[in-house]
């Protein structure tokens, strides 16, 4: 319960037609509260009737693993194309508050893909994809890479 306090969210599945749901299949939204008498949850979104939901917990180890997997995938897709630069938009809820040290996201990007010039800023909402659509996210990092076409 201590780990969940303040770190519990609701994941709304984006594609109900998938046979199985995995990491990255959910749009994560704030759990605003609940009424134990009625069993109603207040969520920072408008779920569809019958939409699959899953409780999510913000966790430094999982966030680090997600970022490393996504960067490894990007590196594989890029192949030998040189990276000329990048822009990292990282949520102000990440960094030392989540990871216990500053610069986690920028250092991870450089370790996986660098060295290259990387600019960025802290945000309170980041835009990025889930499936084939882009959404406004929280507690995430979005990276734009500049590469030769």
Same-domain check for residues 47 and 74: no
Question: 26 in a domain, yes or no?
Answer: yes
8 Å CB contact between 102 and 28: no
**CA dihedral (130, 104, 63, 67) positive or negative:** positive
Using 50, 70 and 90 to split pLDDT, how confident is the model at 5?
Answer: low
Question: 1 in a domain, yes or no?
Answer: no
Q: 54 has which bridge partners?
A: 11
Same-domain check for residues 88 and 73: yes
Segments forming the whole domain that contains residue 99 = 60-147
| Token pair 């590469």 in the structure block, residue | 147
Looking at 57, 72, 87, which one is the last position of a domain? 57
For 72-96, the pLDDT digits (tens) are: 999 999 999 999 999 999 999 898 9
């Amino acid at each position: 319960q201590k780990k969940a306090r303040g770190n519990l969210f609701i994941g709304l599945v984006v594609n109900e037609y998938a046979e199985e749901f995995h990491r990255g299949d959910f749009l994560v939204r704030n759990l605003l509260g609940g009424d134990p008498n009625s069993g109603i949850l207040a969520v920072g979104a408008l779920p569809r009737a019958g939409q699959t939901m899953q409780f999510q917990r913000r966790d430094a180890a999982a966030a680090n693993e997600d970022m490393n997997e996504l960067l490894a995938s990007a590196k594989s897709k890029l192949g030998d194309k040189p990276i000329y630069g990048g822009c990292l938009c990282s949520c102000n809820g990440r960094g030392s508050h989540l990871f216990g040290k500053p610069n986690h996201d920028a250092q991870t990007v450089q370790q996986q893909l660098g060295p290259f010039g990387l600019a960025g800023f802290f945000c309170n909402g980041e835009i990025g994809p889930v499936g084939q659509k882009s959404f406004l996210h929280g507690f995430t990092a979005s990276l734009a890479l500049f590469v030769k076409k």
